[in-house]
Amino acid sequence: MRRLSILLELARLGAHSEPCQITSKELGEKIGCSQQTAARWLKKLSEEGLIDQDVGSRGQTVSLTSEGIDVLRSLRKDLNEVLGEVPQSLKLTGRIVSGLGEGSYYVDKEEYKKQFQEKLGFNPYPGTLDIKLDRKSLRIKERLHSTQSKRIEGFSTQKRRFGGGKCFSARVGDMEAGIILPDRTHHKKIIEVIAPEKLRDKFSLEDGDEITVEVEI
């Protein structure tokens, strides 16, 4: 199980498509083990040919090999046989809540805006619509973490590091949109939705209103 959890976590970070930079400590925090245990598992997976591990002067990068990707594909096939095929879209429902104003700060960063335009096909309004998901939608959100997605890369400035995450194309009513799943967040029950226009104004939304977002997968 530990082998699969590590491969899944690396895939969530985009290591199935390109090398990702991650320390043993960071990996340990994500899968719930010590730094030493995570380091031993990375070495073991590398010896088994499931990952490529490169340690250089700028840190450690890890990528899944074709054999590692095949392990995950086999797992997906087995799960599909048991649970049925994953639908081409998923619906997330919840109630609108006020954020802390951080959405506009992050979304308006030029490095992020360029990626949103490239990956989602629109220039986002500088802000997010925060939705607190109901119980059923929280379970669906967990499925998204292990679903192939578009990757938003982090970047660094002289002052700080801005993290990356996953994003999915979505729709709110007749408006194209996208949802963001940051690699690191304290708001596990909330999804952040971006769109070309301010969704609160577009649909006359207020805190507490129920809303559904259709996510393309």
Residues annotated in a binding site: 99-104, 128, 185, 192, 197-200
Burial category of 135 from C-beta neighbours within 10 Å (exposed 0-12, middle 13-18, buried 19 and up): exposed
Binding positions for CDP are 99-104, 197-200
Give, to the nearest 10 degrees, the angle between helix 2-12 and helix 24-31. Answer: 110
Q: How far is CA 158 from CA 86, 162, 188, 207, in A?
A: 42, 11, 29, 36
HSE of 170 in the Cβ direction (CA atoms, 13 Å)? 29
CB atoms within 10 A of CB 100: 8
Q: Which residues belong to the annotated binding site for FMN?
A: 185, 192
Q: How far is CA 164 from CA 14, 36, 57, 66, 78, in A?
A: 10, 25, 22, 24, 30
Which H or E element spans position 200? helix 199-202
Residue ranges at the known binding site for Mg(2+): 128
Amino acid (1-letter code) at residue 200: R
Task: Return d(Cα 9, Cα 3) in angstroms, integer.
Answer: 10
Backbone angle region of 36, left / alpha / beta, with phi > 0 → left and psi within -120 to 50 → alpha = alpha
